Amino acid sequence: MAIDKMNQEPSELSTIIEALRTPFTYLTFFVLAVWAWASEPASALNWLLPFAFLLSLMILIDLRHMILPDILNAVLLVSGLLLHFLWFDSLLLSALGAGLGFILFFFIFYITYVIKGEPAMGFGDVKFITALGAWVGVVGVPLILIYATILALSFIVLRAIKEKSFQNKPFAYGPFLAIAGWLSILYTFESWKIIETLRASVIGA
């Protein structure tokens, strides 16, 4: 049984090599690169493009294999910390972002496990949000949670409409985290401005 399981589950390295050989990775990267250039042309070549490429790898691997390789999570985490230390001189905010991401999503992971008997996400997702937190900083982590939740719920609703029934089937959450991280890092201030406007409207109402 152990041998069969090993044969069924690809190694992390093999999934990365496969993703590097797949055109979809580069198509995703191209879309994100154009998006970055249109939104932040001064930053695109400096640090957004490496981030976009790592996200592209993560998206494809999770869609195909439902895993988020520890190797890539480690690269994301270290590069995010180094970016903030060398480029923005804000290592503390990056470290706090990684810590907040881990604590927040581990809490969700643990609570859903206690309530349902199984976690609502894989532990790879917890590691992924930790690595993303190092990139977006402490102010971006709540935005990732908000964006990823909206995207995932939209997917669940659309899938239920298409299948004409709601089925609690597992799905890859990593792509939603990746897109949420991308939105968070590009539109941090704009997102918080919208949230503040909505909050003021609700309080005012």
Q: Which two tokens stand for residue 31?
A: 């879309």
Query: Is the residue at 155 inside a domain?
Result: yes
Helix ranges (DSSP H) in 40-90: 41-43, 49-65, 70-83
Query: Is the residue at 193 inside a domain?
Result: yes
Query: Is the residue at 5 inside a domain?
Result: no
Note the pLDDT of residue 154: 93
Closest Cα partner for 80 from 94, 92, 90?
94
Query: Is the residue at 6 inside a domain?
Result: no
Instruction: Look up residue 83 and give its amino acid.
Output: L
Query: Is the residue at 2 inside a domain?
Result: no
Q: Is 122 left (phi over 0), alpha (psi -120 to 50) or beta?
A: beta
Note the pLDDT of residue 45: 61
Q: Which two tokens stand for residue 105?
A: 């999503």
Query: Is the residue at 60 inside a domain?
Result: yes
Query: Is the residue at 41 inside a domain?
Result: yes
Note the pLDDT of residue 169: 77
Note the pLDDT of residue 1: 39
Query: Is the residue at 110 inside a domain?
Result: yes
Instruction: Look up residue 114 and give its amino acid.
Output: V
Note the pLDDT of residue 148: 94
Which regions of the chain are under pLDDT 50? Answer: 1-6
> Is 148 in contact with 173 (CB distance < 8 Å)?
yes
Distance CA 97, CA 118 (A): 26
Note the pLDDT of residue 8: 65
> Is the model's pTM score more than 0.85?
yes
Domain that holds residue 68: 12-204
Total of domains in the chain: 1
